Amino acid sequence: MERTLVKDTVSKVDQEILLKGWVASIRDHGKITFIDLRDRSGIVQCVGQNLPKVTPESVIEIKGKVAKRPGKLVNKDLETGEIELQINELKVISLSKELPLPIDTDGYEIGEETRLKYRYLDIRRPRMTRNLRVRSKAAMFIRNWLIERDFVEVETPILTKTTPEGARDFLVPSRLQLGKFYALPQSPQQYKQLLMVAGLERYFQIARCFRDEDPRADRAYGEFTQLDLEMSFVEQEDILQLAESLFIELVEKIFSDKHITQKPWPRLSHKEVVEKYGTDKPDLRKDKNDPNELAFAWTLDFPLFTEQSDKDFFYGSGKAKFAPSHHMFTAPHPDDVSLLDSDPTKVRGLQHDMVLNGFEVGGGSIRIHDAGVQQKVFDLIGFSEEQKHQFEHMLTAFTYGVPPHGGIAPGIDRFIMTVLGEPSVREAMAFPATAGGATAVVNAPSEATEEQLEELGIKITKKEK
């Protein structure tokens, strides 16, 4: 017999069917037993007598007949509440031990270490299942939307060279070239610009980014996902309009219970917004108690550089007076290029930040496409000759016909978190790392074996505390 999904039971009254799934709950009424069976499509009540021993969360198969429930027994809270399955045969496929955490609550009350250790159970909770499903739908919508508009999806390397976005790199030792290391990309920034030199004109990727920085509620430790995109022959206005239409349509299609406070999104200059709100990512919701309100905004006209002290961390050098506000590939405003020589702090950058309910959900810019200007920015941020050498490929690429280009990279985890009103990005990710940096379930990082270290030519010395 073919399997029926729970959601289809309602249309099969009086038919014999086969269901497969998990035991969501058991209610033993002496002679008769009620079992709520859950599969990916929903929950349905099953009822039978003299059933084999079964525990909550076991995997079972049930054959039985769909019966209409009498009027007063209809359960309005359940999509299948008008029917129940009369069990003819119940087969236990895999018994479950008692779960180490409840999954019939929203889960916020449970310690995160426990939730992440048993994430595969934690995801059975309806809230987590919903978050992952909604995320998948959003990703699919984005893909289709961009592909319809001539974008090409390209995967870029994970084992690569440093691509600084202002955080520390994760390093991976090379076995074939002893003593050398790959860096995991903090973003695909350089590759996407190289793809513009390559003539793709419109690129996107739902890309993983790796940054070794301290975790916060709105930032997962280690890795996160961005919708990374880049376009050629565009001005900042084109990027703003494209991203704005994409996210408005995404919200209207996939999150139709949400409403956007203001359309078109307000545009705020960095100076004005910092003066008025004391932050460059203001929460512009009209009613902060309304969980369905989405207040998008653009912050523009950032200064190209921020001044930094010796203590600030930047690209490992920590010595330069200026750090890029965004990253070192962001173009100066064309009217301000001469100020690069006279007064760099006054130079405006063609950076744009996408703000949602007080979170920065995306950032991007028009890029430098002139090797001379790029050199100047390298100098201003205090790059040594060696550091410049690390980015020589960009300057070289720019000597072979580079179109003006720019892009943006909205964070997927952060967007889903904000739209769903979740308290942390980890609620929008299947297997995030704990705040302490241990990965869910498998508890990485872990020690390497002596053999592995030897093969890589690595000796571990314990750091003095």
- The minimum distance between CB 410 and ligand ASP, in angstroms, equals 9
Say whether 143 counts as a known binding-site residue.
no
* Spatial contact of 331 and 368, defined as CB atoms under 8 Å apart: yes
- Identified binder of ligand ASP from the candidate list 363, 377, 413, 424, rule CB under 6 A: 363
Say whether 343 counts as a known binding-site residue.
no
**273 scored as a contact of ligand ASP (CB under 6 A):** no
| CB count in 10 Å sphere of residue 326 | 20
Say whether 212 counts as a known binding-site residue.
yes
Task: Please choose, out of 64-72, 383-391, 406-414, 445-453, the segment that lies near ligand ASP by the rule CB under 6 A.
Answer: 406-414
**250 scored as a contact of ligand ASP (CB under 6 A):** no
Say whether 326 counts as a known binding-site residue.
yes
**Residue 308: CA atoms inside 13 Å, Cβ hemisphere, count?**
22
- Identified binder of ligand ASP from the candidate list 80, 190, 205, 365, rule CB under 6 A: 365
User: What is the radius of gyration, based on Cα positions, of the chain?
Assistant: 27
Residue closer to ligand ASP (CB basis): 84 or 165: 165
Shortest CA distance to 185 belongs to which of 218, 220, 226, 214? 226
Say whether 214 counts as a known binding-site residue.
no
* Spatial contact of 120 and 126, defined as CB atoms under 8 Å apart: no
Binding mask 160-179 for ligand ASP (x = CB under 6 A): -----x--------------
Helix axes 236-254, 126-148, angle to 10 degrees: 140
Task: Please choose, out of 9-17, 251-259, 394-402, 404-412, the segment that lies near ligand ASP by the rule CB under 6 A.
Answer: 404-412
Binding mask 5-44 for ligand ASP (x = CB under 6 A): ----------------------------------------
Task: State which amino acid sits at residue 6.
Answer: V
Task: Please choose, out of 136-144, 376-384, 401-409, 431-439, the segment that lies near ligand ASP by the rule CB under 6 A.
Answer: 401-409
Say whether 202 counts as a known binding-site residue.
no
**Residue 99: CA atoms inside 13 Å, Cβ hemisphere, count?**
23
- Identified binder of ligand ASP from the candidate list 364, 366, 368, 415, rule CB under 6 A: 364
* Spatial contact of 83 and 43, defined as CB atoms under 8 Å apart: no
Upstream peptide bond of 266 is cis (omega within 30 degrees of 0)? no
- Identified binder of ligand ASP from the candidate list 408, 416, 417, 428, rule CB under 6 A: 408
Task: Please choose, out of 358-366, 418-426, 437-445, 450-458, the segment that lies near ligand ASP by the rule CB under 6 A.
Answer: 358-366
**189 scored as a contact of ligand ASP (CB under 6 A):** yes
**332 scored as a contact of ligand ASP (CB under 6 A):** no
Say whether 416 counts as a known binding-site residue.
no
Say whether 367 counts as a known binding-site residue.
yes
Binding mask 220-249 for ligand ASP (x = CB under 6 A): ------x-----------------------
* Spatial contact of 412 and 229, defined as CB atoms under 8 Å apart: no
**407 scored as a contact of ligand ASP (CB under 6 A):** yes
- The minimum distance between CB 11 and ligand ASP, in angstroms, equals 47
**409 scored as a contact of ligand ASP (CB under 6 A):** yes
- The minimum distance between CB 325 and ligand ASP, in angstroms, equals 11
**344 scored as a contact of ligand ASP (CB under 6 A):** no
Tokens coding 412: 């997927």
Integer Cα distance of 370 and 247 in angstroms: 31
Residue closer to ligand ASP (CB basis): 22 or 247: 247
Q: How many residues bind ligand ASP (CB under 6 A)?
A: 10
- The minimum distance between CB 154 and ligand ASP, in angstroms, equals 14
Say whether 175 counts as a known binding-site residue.
no
Binding site as annotated, residues for L-aspartate = 165, 211, 326, 367
Q: Which residues of this chain interact with ligand ASP, rule CB under 6 A? A: 165, 187, 189, 226, 363-365, 407-409
Q: Show binding-site residues for ATP.
A: 211-213, 360, 411-414
Binding residues: 165, 211-213, 326, 360, 367, 411-414
